[in-house]
Amino acid sequence: MSGTVGPRPESIFNRFSFEFDGTDDYVDVGYIAELNNASAFTYSGWYKQTTLDQERFLMGFFVSAGNWFGLYTWSDGNMYIHFKDGGVNKYGAFDYSTLVTANAWFNIVIVFNGSNSTNADRLKCYINGTQATLSFVGTQPTNTPIGVNNLTLGKMDSFTQTWLGGADELALWNTDESANVSTIYNSGEPNDLTSLSPLSWWRMGDKSTYSNPGGVGNWTLVDQGSGGNDGTSNGMDENNRVLDTP
Query: Which structural domains are found in the chain, ordered by start?
Result: 4-242 (2.60.120.200)
* Residue 50 half-sphere exposure toward CB, CA atoms < 13 A: 13
d(CA 151, CA 139): 24
189 vs 101, higher pLDDT: 189
- Report pLDDT digits (tens) over 34-83: 999 999 999 999 999 998 888 999 999 999 878 999 999 988 889 999 99
- Report pLDDT digits (tens) over 216-243: 789 999 999 999 999 999 999 999 999 9
pLDDT band at 95 (very low <50, low <70, confident <90, very high): very high
Q: What is the largest CA-CA distance in the chain?
A: 57
Which pLDDT belongs to residue 76?
84
Mean pLDDT computed over every residue of the chain: 92
- Report pLDDT digits (tens) over 122-174: 999 999 999 999 999 999 999 999 899 999 999 998 888 999 999 999 999 99
* 9 pLDDT above the threshold of 50: no
2-11, 59-68, 195-204: least confident range? 2-11
Which pLDDT belongs to residue 85?
86
Asked if residue 184 lies in contact with residue 177, where contact means CB atoms within 8 angstroms, the answer is yes
* Residue 117 half-sphere exposure toward CB, CA atoms < 13 A: 0
3-state helix, strand, coil in the chain (%, to 5): 10, 40, 50
Residues 118-127 as b/e (b if ≥16 CB within 10 A, e otherwise) read ebeebbbbbb
Q: For the whole model, what pTM was predicted?
A: 0.93
* 11 pLDDT above the threshold of 70: no
